[in-house]
Chains A and B, each alone.
Chain A
Amino acid sequence: MARLSKENHLLFPLIVGVLAWLIPGAGHFALNEKKRAIIIFATIVPTFCAGLYIGSIGVIDTVGATPWYVYAAQIMISPMVAVLAHLTAGGSYPAYGWPNEIGQIYTSTAGLLNLLCIVNAVYLAYMRSTQTSGG
Chain B
Amino acid sequence: MSIADFLVIATFTAPQTIQTNPALMLWMLPLAASMAITYKATKLPTITPANFIKEAAILFASIVIIITIIALALYALMWLITE
Contact = CB atoms under 8 A, between A and B. Distances in A.
Contacts of B35: 109, 113
Interface residues of B, number: 23
A102 B18 contact: yes
SS of A interface (majority): helix
Given A55-B15, A56-B13, A56-B14, A40 B31 contact: no
Contacts of B17: 99
Contacts of B18: 54, 97-99, 102
A82 interface: no
A64 B41 CA distance: 35
A117 B21 CA distance: 34
Interface stretch (A9-17, A42-50, A66-74): A42-50
B20 interface: yes
Contacts of B31: 47, 105-106, 109
Interface of B: 11-20, 24, 27, 30-31, 34-35, 37-39, 41-42, 47, 52
